[in-house]
Amino acid sequence: MKKSSLASKVALITGSARRVGAEIARTLHDAGMNIVLHYNVSEEEAFKLCEQLNQKRKESAVVMRAELQEAESGKMLIQKAAETWKRLDVLVNNASRFYRTSIGKITDYAWDDLMNSNLKAPFFLAQSAAPFLAATQGTIINITDVNADRPLHDFAVYCISKAGLVAMTKILAKELGPLIRVNGISPGSILWPEGDNALSEEDKQKIIERTPLLRSGSPEDVAKAVLFFVRDADFITGQILNIDGGRTLG
């Protein structure tokens, strides 16, 4: 079966300055798409990646900043993204926040911060993008997490927010069909958490031992799954694809 061309189509990837988001941007760009790189605080990395993409193909990438916890800022991001090349074909809701929230110590701030970043923002971005995506029969891809179904100890609110994103994916697939496909990708151990949320070597090893492939994945694994949903999955919607080396098997 001939793969559909992505040349001149447009993808907006939130949180795409670094880590998994940056790899998704590179992969879709290599497939021919024009890319809108969103960032909030990682300005230097975003502009560096944009320069690299434009060196490969002139005027094929732009950078846009938005604080996605602010609904109006997210709405403006969608509008500006659609105006750049006069279309929008793909929205990848990748940006999220991740930190410990132990039961008994959870604050209102932590609840609102994680829910707004990981659930509310993707919903309102999808709502704002829907008219543009419908015009191109485009697609939304939400980056969820295997811990939505297999909760991670001490990360209660994060796991709840990602479980909500799984439900949202299925709901939007029904609400926005037939013109827009909506799917999710659920990564397992791809890149280990950084900073205060870093795991001990012992904890990392325990996770690897519970993974049938006995290794962690890579950002490329997630990016290839995004490309599959964008280019090759015309009859798939409302699905969550685990990219986890089999970890969810138990």
- Tell me, letter by letter, the H, E, C secondary structure of the chain: CCCCCCCCCEEEECCCCCHHHHHHHHHHHHCCCEEEEEECCCHHHHHHHHHHHHHHCCCCEEEEECCCCCHHHHHHHHHHHHHHCCCCCEEEECCCCCCCECCCCCCHHHHHHHHHHHHHHHHHHHHHHHHHHHHHCCEEEEECCHHHCCCCCCEHHHHHHHHHHHHHHHHHHHHHCCCCEEEEEEECCCCCCCHHHCCCHHHHHHHHHCCCCCCCCCHHHHHHHHHHHHHHCCCCCCCEEEECCCHHHC
Catalytic site residue from 39, 99, 109, 158: 158
Active site residue 158: yes
Catalytic residues: 158
